[in-house]
């Protein structure tokens, strides 16, 4: 992964931990581990909260009705790739 994306991935991990008040450090989130259910253990409410924080922070809308949400939120790495491709700030 290029250094810029690794930096972005770390920033996204920090946002997730902060937004959800998780009892882990951002470094403990594995890039390819599932965010939903097994892995990080997020539920649908957590994913909505992450989507809101990401939308505000990076300046683009993550929509609840997006058919790609399952793949976008499948892991930290996939979420980071989506942000990198769509961010406005």
Domain ranges across the chain: 3-86
Predicted local distance difference test score (pLDDT) of residue 40: 93
Residue 89 has a pLDDT of 86
Mean pLDDT of 11-15: 97
Q: Are 43 and 73 in contact (CB under 8 A)?
A: no
pLDDT band at 2 (very low <50, low <70, confident <90, very high): low
Residue with tokens 């990401």: 54
pLDDT tens across 20-65, in order?
999 999 999 999 999 988 889 999 899 999 999 999 999 998 887 8
Burial of 5 (0-12, 13-18, 19+ CB in 10 A): middle
pTM of the model: 0.91
pLDDT per position as a tens digit, 58-86: 999 888 788 899 999 999 999 999 999 99
pLDDT of residue 66: 85
For 3-86, CATH number out of 1.10.1200.10, 2.40.110.10, 1.10.287.620, 3.90.1150.10 equals 1.10.1200.10
């Amino acid at each position: 992964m290029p250094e810029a994306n690794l930096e972005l991935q770390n920033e996204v991990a920090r946002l997730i931990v902060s937004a959800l008040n998780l009892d882990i450090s951002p470094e403990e989130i594995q890039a390819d581990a599932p965010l939903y259910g097994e892995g990080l253990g997020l539920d649908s409410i957590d994913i909505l909260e992450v989507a809101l924080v990401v939308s505000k922070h990076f300046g683009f809308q993550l929509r609840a009705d997006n058919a790609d949400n399952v793949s976008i939120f499948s892991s930290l790495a996939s979420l980071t790739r989506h942000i990198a491709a769509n961010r406005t700030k």
